[in-house]
Structure 1
Amino acid sequence: MYHSLSFLLYISMYNMKLLKLSSFGCGTRDRNRKERKREIQEEEVYEQKLKFSEMKRLKMAGSSFVWMMILGLGLQLQVEIARAQNQTSSPSTGTTPAAEVDALNSFLRKLGVSPSNQFEITDEPCVGFAINDSISLGNGGASHNPGFKCKCNGTVCHITGLKVYAKGVAGQIPDELWSLSYLTELNLAKNNLTGPVSPSVGNLTQMQYMNLDHNSFSGELPKELGNLTELLILAFSTNDFSGPLPSELGKLTKLQHLYMDSSGVSGPIPSTFAALQNMQVMRFWGNSLEGPIPSTFSNLAALEDLRISDLANGGSSLAFLKDMKSLKVLILRNNDISGSIPSNIGDYQNLSHLFLGSNKFTGPSIPPQYAQLFQRDSCRRSKTKKELLEIIIEMNFFSIWKKAVQREARRGIVEAVNWENGNMAHGVLPSGLRCLQRNFPCGRNRPVYDNFSVKCGGPETNSTNHQIIYERDNETLGPATYYVASTDRWAVSNVGHFWDKNNSKYTSDSSSQIVANTSDPQLFWTARISPVSLRYYGLGLVNGNYTVRLQFAEITILNSPYGWESLGRRVFDIYIQGNRVRKDFNIKKEARGTSFEAVQEDFLAQVSENYLEIHLFWAGKGTCCIPTAGTYGPSISAISVTRDPTGKKIKIGLILGIFVPVGVVSCLCVLALFYFVQRRKRLHRKKDEELLGIEARPYTFSYAELKAATADFNPANKLGEGGFGPVYKGTLNDGRVIAVKQLSVASHQGKSQFVAEIATISAVQQRNLVKFGYLAPEYAMRGHLTEKADVFGFGVVALEVVSGRPNSDTSLEAEKMYLLDWAWHLHQNNNEVELVDDNLSEFNEEEVKRLIRVALLCTQSSPQARPSMSRAVAMLLADIEVGAVTAQPGYLMSGWKFNDTTSFMSTDTQTTKTEHSHSSSSSSTWAIPDRDTKPMLQEIIRE
């Protein structure tokens, strides 16, 4: 039309030019100049005046012509519009009852809205667009909103549809609505309507589609909803209802879609819902419902989308899923469900999203049938649609079977798989992720830091007073990814995929807004967001008490003048060190219902294993689609963690109050010690005389015999030194090998202690004491009982368990007779597996080698070389690597080869060797022969 109008205007202007040219063509006639010169001059003056007058007239005529053309075209345009309207609508085929017309007028008037231009509410509203069946009253589309629909039968018309969508209307629903009993469609979503839903809703018995989503309705849902037996879709999501779900909803047997997510309902799920066998979509998540999930849900075989979360007193199982083979989306988060995943889960070939997090699933492994979810052949997939599979099963108690999952994840079939630290996972983990498991934190036993700060979702930022530098956190995350900072001070991991929103970096940005209630607004211009689970870790922290400061601001759910856009709720839980410190945390609520206002939360945390975990977890509450799809889940702007300064700054008075009494007590202790030392010296002089009176025992030896057996107590034969004196290896004339212990006068032990030790050692296993090897060398040889003595015994027992034989077996070949000797020999030849009991038909070779190496470490001669029991257990569980076994264990002495064990004395007896190797003081000596004898004791005083 624009081009036609321009063309006509162009033709008009061309015609006007022709008229002008014709006026200039009226010239003077040819006459004889000589005869009529005067007349010509007069005529030329006249013609010039005429030309001027004609030009003025034609100019005015041309202008009028243009305006007439424009007016004509406008009239023609109106005619075309009217003709188009007549072509898209049919004439009225009946009359609308006045009661319905009045109700419609009153309803719209009380809400303060008018129908769009396509509709007219007159004495007869059911004309034009109102009776056009192609008009939709669903969500979206501003051209027919507000709008209504009618249905006519040739005589009477009735209003059957009504739409006031996202118009920001407020207040309660006018009662006139409930008198429109012929309504089949009602769409009042995304407004700010309040108050209860009237029981008169039961009058709308022909209703098929009712959408009251995203409002602020309150009170209990009326049981009269059960009268709407023609309903196909019922949507009450994101409201403030209270009370239980009416059991009468079980009468809606034609119902296919039921949306109750984040609606505020509570109480148990009615068992009557088992009758809703046409149900395809059922969403109950984000409420305060009570469990268990009715077992009769197994009747709902047509379900394609089931979402339930936050069931209190759950106690359910997944048995009800057995016939739901049409499921595409299954979300059962935080429902206290126990037991195992059904073995037929692999038969659910349409399943694309599976969320089973925060339950109590157990079992030795996820069933092998589970792998079928990842092993769908690619030829089954649509060539135009990429199927995505998202599985989140974190915070359960699985022993995860993961090989097939990891294989398919590499093929790109699995979009997000979370093996996070809430599950009891075993096996080799990807590089880096192992550091983020609860049992394997980076920096353990290597503390470096006592603080860290992160600018979540943004670049490095300094605080206003420059006291804190927040490290950058603007790396791109994905559905199941992690990032370790270059400083190794902290890390972040995300789990979850934004279904409805493309946010590749998992951040939000609103740098153009002003953030209130803070002196550092730049901290809140960006935020790190996650649809499900967001964790931050502090690594390599010094153990102690810390203050954890979390800073938030709602920069996505805004304060909207339309009302409904302000109804969005971001609700998540906060965990510190695995403990939930805030449940149902709502940033905007904490900011008194205001967006772009800083919220700061401080928590105390204890670091005991050199790492800190901050976990923000979406448990299913809040809203998913306000103001846009995908607006939900945790969001955080900044983190600052500092060590508690308590105890660092002590007042001078407190210092004096501590150290003055300590000084006085110390002086008294020195005086007392001096007194006891002098008294002890006097007592020793008396005891030296008493030693000569010790009663002799059988199998005594003369000092000369012992001196000859030990080559005059040659230092080369010295095995070590204990509290009573040195111990020497000796060989008697008959070939018996003995151990000779010399009692030194310098020893502070008394006669009774010496006698008790000799009697104890003589009575314990006699000649097999060393070969049985259960007593640690330091105790057997020196009487020193250390905290590593039990570790030695554990190592011997571990080898016995592996080999299925005792520590000493004289019936075996010489090289196999002593277990420690044989185990060391096999280890040196990298043939540890030969030690395994022949009765074991199946075993894990790597685990056997690990156990033998741990046992050899536990039986090291030196207590310092043995691991602690906790470390030994960690090595057996493969939590840490097994250290290299570089020295042979103690007591490797077939035939009493004591020279093989001297190394264990070298560290802790170096000083005493110097003092006592050539002691000239009086000493006593005892010996144990290398054969079965009665307990014996003999002491000889060297002159």
Structure 2
Amino acid sequence: MLEVIVAVLVSSFVLVSGGFLGCFYTRRTKQKEEKKESGEDLLSFDFNSSVEPNGNGTGLRHRNHTDFDLPMFSYASVCAATDNFSPENKLGEGGFGPVYKGKLLNGQEIALKRLSKKSGQGVEEFRNEILLIAKLQHRNLVRLLGCCIDPDESILIYEYMPNKSLDFYLFGSDKEVILDWTTRTRIVEGIAQGLLYLHEYSRVRIIHRDLKASNILLDEEMNPKISDFGMARIFGGNDSRTYTKRIVGTFGYMAPEYALQGLFSIKSDVFSFGVLVLEIVCGKRNTGFYLTDTLNLLGHAWELWVSGRGVELMDPAVGCSPASAALRYINVGLLCVQENPNDRPNMSAVISMLSSTELGTPLPAPKQPAFSTTTAVSLASSVVNNNAGKYSVNDLTVSALQPR
């Protein structure tokens, strides 16, 4: 009798233990699968087959979804793709943090932007960029492929742009390649098309707020793609302008109403675009332009324009270029940087003016640009000095809190 009882107890114990072990194993397996799904292997991911335009062509469809509707990859696979963020794979560094080149098992090259712990930007800008750019599809906007969110890391994964950024060719001390006039006009027109999409044709109206040469990336055919949407803002409904206490951007590209009053609109981007156009034509930065007493490129361009010597603004490195076309681009640039935002054209009008180069259609006469005199520059500089360390006069994006 005792033997029977012992046998029954032992059998029951084995069954119960087996059940517990089975449940534990199943739970662990499920947790591993969930963990794998929330952090895919970047090295073996095929973006060509897993990231496609959705039905209306304005969004993305992905194999695995996250809160941001983007593939999310494990930190271990990101490290493997960049050779543990090797210095040899570092492409550069901006306000967000360093950018690295990565490579997948299928040979596809990618770019990874890693949020620096010392960066003035943070989780808000990181989330803002994902929410905005993941919903955008245009040939002149850089494509966001995925992200990695780790307790100590925030990483964005983009398509790789082999020809770096526009500032490398315009302002580099050792220019390996000189941009010819045809390439420069194609870059200007591509940027204009990208801005037009953001302002008028995307699912939501978007103001970039940090358009500058270092945020224009170039693909293998030197086509431009607008990047870095961490500072961008969405406009709802029929809103045309708004105020902010948080002024962000790069000094030299900021519209006067935004830099001094915190007022921004699509015309703020138009001003930045105008600065870019003049920089592309001239091959020099707007800030630190000491050839005249105006102290910047806008003032220098205006002086040449009103004296009938606008063609002298052309970058000598370009060589021969149609003078009429060059003057037309300078005219458009000056129209975009006029002090009153109401005087500036919208991007639709800009594209129309640029595309009618061969038709000889006369353009409006520009008014004197903002920040084109020593007085205006001194006023802007005083704003910067009163917020020491909050504004940037180079390629770094910065922000400052300002009262209205």
TM-score range, shorter chain: 0.3 to 0.5
Higher RCO, 1 vs 2 (CA within 8 Å, ≥6 residues apart): 2
TM-score, normalised relative to structure 2: 0.33
TM-score, normalised relative to structure 1: 0.15
Structure ID, larger Rg: 1
Q: Name the one with the larger strand percent.
A: 1
